[in-house]
Structure 1
Amino acid sequence: MATPPVLICRPGPRASVLAEAIAARGFAVEHGEAMALEALPESPEMRAAWLDFDQFRRVVVVSPYAADCLAEALDRYWPQLPVGIDYYAVGAATAATLHRELGVRVHVPATGGETTSEALLALGSLQRLDDQRVLLVAGEGGRPLLAETLSERGARVTRLALYRRRLLEPDASLRRRLAEGDYRALVITSGEILEHLARWCSPAALNQPLIVSSTRLATLAGTLGFRRPVVASGATPAALAAAVAEEDPEKADIDHDDLEKG
């Protein structure tokens, strides 16, 4: 009987990198499509921000896809980037994308901690922002924490949504996996995807290991009924793959037996 795969539901091109990291640990991997990322057409607000890009003191980018969208826009308007701007990224993958596409140095949360908005806001250089112009590059929706906190600290924040996230109904294969709990572990790094897929999760699936990238997601998972959330050391492929490798699949079988008895 084939060993159940690790099920990943990360959207966009980063899914393949995560799959490779988990496969390198010796696990079969299956990718479940739960969300699509779609770049938004340029709006007047976007165009104004690109034209005034040299007026921003700090630029905060929340995801690798936002970084890609930013780099594409700046390539059209600024063949040579203006100087004097500090760049910030919530996580290492976003920072790597900015460095690769723009060649800029990027501030990130301290290593060893979670890659979250809260961790980024703890950086000393973001504590006092009196009247500084800050560009926040993100997708539609999402948490308002960054924009609200930066504004409270005195910044004049411009928030640009450069892409939208579109939830997808699971296909037949993913629905079956979630209905039967037929996977070694489920890896999710988005609260939106977690809430979306919880609707299709049976008690067996809720009792399987759920690998998440932050304590915030683990807390959300608990409220949704997941019994075995495991917090990885970060949202990088390496951190998530390590969490998968460290999880004991035999314990899930024991817990499932206990659940059936209950």
Structure 2
Amino acid sequence: MNRSGPLAGRTLGVTRPAAQAGPLAEAIAAAGGTPLLFPLLDIAPAADPQPLAAAAERLTTYSWAVFVSPNAVDHALPTLLAHGPWPSDLRPVTVGPGTARALAARGIGGCLVPSERFDSEALLALPELATERVTGQWVAVFRGDGGRELLADTLRARGATVDCIACYRRSPPAGGSQPLLAAWRAGGLDALTVSSSEGLRYLLDLLDDEGNRWLRATPLFVPHARIAETARQRGLDKIILSGGADSGIMAALVAYNWSA
């Protein structure tokens, strides 16, 4: 640990799912901080594996394959590749660079990915997914159970045939809120990073009155305006909107005036 770094002496909560928390936690440690891992979402394979198996069998019929998160890559790709190599004319699409890196690590490159904002709106704004490019084409969207329908609905309105394949499921953390409460009571939690509106809702529902008082007094770093709005609607106001991905969160953590 770099004890003289810009985050020295700060304990920062990392609430990404366990499989995706490592890079942000390592970046915090490299900047001198102490990461406190508290995943707000538990990720498991989809309850019904049949839709993913069926998509694997017809993978060559798709023109576009959208992976909404690294979890989608982790839970879909082994089944897809078990049926054969990645089709050469199937274009992978991701919402953000972390998901593109997860695909590249498995030998699948050439991803279509937004360059600035990392959400469905930014993806849909790319010229490659304009109406004249996707009309009549088949699109597979690999995602968790539930979630936003904006991407699929918009592509359908543009003339594409879209299959949404749930390849993983999300659930609240099983361990309760004691690690956070203990850190707060000891004066050892300086901020939380939250990268999912769903995870934030789980956190707010998980905490008791004492925990919610602590949360309202704790800086909350979020990488998307939609998460910030969810936080404001639930009565939080110490919200710092960062740039996207881990790099954006780290830049905001380093730039924050901790003495204010």
Same fold (TM over 0.5): yes
Q: Secondary structure at the match of 2:106?
A: helix
Equivalent residue, structure 2, for 1:156? 161
Instruction: Tell me which of 15, 19, 25 is aligned to 1:19.
Output: 25
Equivalent residue, structure 2, for 1:258? none
After TM superposition, give the deviation of residue 181 of structure 1 in Å: 7.4
Equivalent residue, structure 2, for 1:210? 220
Instruction: Tell me which of 224, 239, 244 is aligned to 1:234.
Output: 244
Equivalent residue, structure 1, for 2:136? 131
Q: Secondary structure at the match of 2:231?
A: helix
Could you state the TM-score of these two structures normalised by the residue count of structure 1?
0.87
Q: Which moved more, 1:66-75 or 1:121-130?
A: 66-75
Equivalent residue, structure 2, for 1:70? 76
Equivalent residue, structure 2, for 1:245? 254
Instruction: Tell me which of 53, 61, 66 is aligned to 2:59.
Output: 53
Equivalent residue, structure 2, for 1:105? 110
- Flag structure 1 segments of 5+ consecutive residues without an equivalent: 252-262
Instruction: Tell me which of 7, 11, 31 is aligned to 1:5.
Output: 11
Checking the alignment, whether the CA contact within 8 Å between 1:59 and 1:136 is kept in structure 2 is: yes
Q: Secondary structure at the match of 1:17?
A: helix
Q: Which moved more, 1:219-228 or 1:90-99?
A: 219-228
Checking the alignment, whether the CA contact within 8 Å between 1:8 and 1:186 is kept in structure 2 is: yes
Checking the alignment, whether the CA contact within 8 Å between 2:216 and 2:237 is kept in structure 1 is: yes
Q: Which moved more, 1:200-209 or 1:131-140?
A: 200-209
Checking the alignment, whether the CA contact within 8 Å between 2:62 and 2:90 is kept in structure 1 is: yes
Aligned residues: 246
Checking the alignment, whether the CA contact within 8 Å between 2:221 and 2:241 is kept in structure 1 is: yes
Checking the alignment, whether the CA contact within 8 Å between 1:208 and 1:227 is kept in structure 2 is: no
Q: Among the aligned pairs, what percent are the same residue?
A: 30
CA–CA separation in structure 2 for the residues paired with 1:222 and 1:150: 30
1:162 counterpart letter in structure 2: C
After TM superposition, give the deviation of residue 179 of structure 1 in Å: 7.0
Checking the alignment, whether the CA contact within 8 Å between 2:68 and 2:95 is kept in structure 1 is: yes
Cα-to-partner distance string for 1:192-248 (whole Å, 9 max, x where unaligned): 11011123243342132111111111111111111121111102x222122111111
CA–CA separation in structure 2 for the residues paired with 1:207 and 1:249: 13
CA–CA separation in structure 2 for the residues paired with 1:35 and 1:41: 16
CA–CA separation in structure 2 for the residues paired with 1:132 and 1:215: 31
Checking the alignment, whether the CA contact within 8 Å between 2:228 and 2:239 is kept in structure 1 is: yes
Checking the alignment, whether the CA contact within 8 Å between 2:52 and 2:76 is kept in structure 1 is: no
Could you state the TM-score of these two structures normalised by the residue count of structure 2?
0.88
RMSD between superposed Cα atoms in Å: 1.9
CA–CA separation in structure 2 for the residues paired with 1:196 and 1:42: 24
Cα-to-partner distance string for 1:28-77 (whole Å, 9 max, x where unaligned): 11111322100126633322211110100111110001012222112210
Q: Secondary structure at the match of 1:216?
A: helix
